[in-house]
Amino acid sequence: MEEQRRNRQLLFGKNNTRNTNSHSSTDGNQAEQLFEQENNQAWEQLHGKVGSLKDIALQIDQEVTSQNQFLGNMTSSFDSVGELLSGTLSRLQRLVSERTGRHMCYLILFVFIFFVLVYLFLRN
């Protein structure tokens, strides 16, 4: 606290202990040097923070690019799965519309239910 007060006094030229002209010019030079040092420290800190922000911005850019690629791949995968399901559904509808196809669907449904019941019975 005392050092801050002394620095402030040097900066603003309010040093009561030295009132001569030769000392006041020395005090002014010291105040100027002190002010220059503080500015340099603040500039270095600001430069470091700007560098950190730049690194963070570049990392965000890389992540966004990666996520966009992932979403693009997902979209094409969903499109191909949709086409596959559409084809399967149309074949299933054709199978159900035929008389022998309906019997096949009933048989598959019966076998599926049978295996589910056997599984539930053996599980208990």
- 91, pLDDT greater than 60: yes
- The per-residue pLDDT for 14 is 57
Alpha-carbon distances, residue 49 vs 20, 56, 123 (angstroms): 43, 10, 62
Helix, strand or coil, per DSSP, at residue 98: coil
The average pLDDT across 102-112 equals 87
Q: Over the stretch 15-70, which tens digit does the pLDDT of each residue have?
A: 544 444 555 677 878 888 998 899 989 999 999 999 999 999 999 999 999 999 99
pTM above 0.85, yes or no: no
In whole angstroms, give the CA distance from residue 15 to residue 27.
Answer: 8
In one letter, which amino acid is 47?
H
Neighbours of 10 (CB within 10 A): 20
Determine the average pLDDT of the residues in 93-100.
78
Q: Which two tokens stand for residue 41?
A: 């420290």
- On the question of pLDDT at 119 being above 80, the answer is yes
pLDDT of 98 over the 90 cut: no
The answer to whether residue 81 scores a pLDDT higher than 80 is: yes
In the chain, domain spans: 2-123
